Amino acid sequence: MTELAEHLGALMRRSGVGTQTLSKLTGVLRTAIDNWRDGTVRRPRRWEPLLRIARVLSLSREERGRSLRVASLGYWREIGHPRAAAYDGAPV
């Protein structure tokens, strides 16, 4: 199991939100969430879906940063996307 799979699974269990509900609330495909949770896909291609998941799961700034790190995406400031800085410290 990948670190992302373990991390995302733990967050979802803690929040009580299942894959189907998380997909519906975030717009992230259910199959993508399942693939991350079971380790089929080791890391997402983009950081935005993880931040949408972070919003729905009400993650703290530190938890959002850890989620991006375990997905091998780094901190949002380090991603290089012009909009990424807007997520630093702000509720997502």
Residue type, 1: M
Tabulate helix, strand, coil % of the chain (nearest 5): 60, 0, 40
Q: Where are the beta strands (DSSP E) in the chain?
A: none
Q: How many domains is the chain built from?
A: 1
Residue keyed to tokens 């949408």: 52
Using the 8-state DSSP alphabet, how is residue 36 labeled?
H
The structure's pTM equals 0.75
Per-residue pLDDT of the chain (92 residues; tens, 9 = 90+): 888 899 999 999 999 999 999 999 999 999 999 999 998 988 888 888 988 999 999 998 888 888 888 887 654 444 455 555 455 444 43
| 92 is a domain residue | no
- Where residue 44 sits, what CATH number does that domain have? 1.10.260.40
| 82 is a domain residue | yes
Residue numbers of the domain that contains 55: 3-87
Cα separation, 39 vs 17, whole angstroms = 19
| 78 is a domain residue | yes
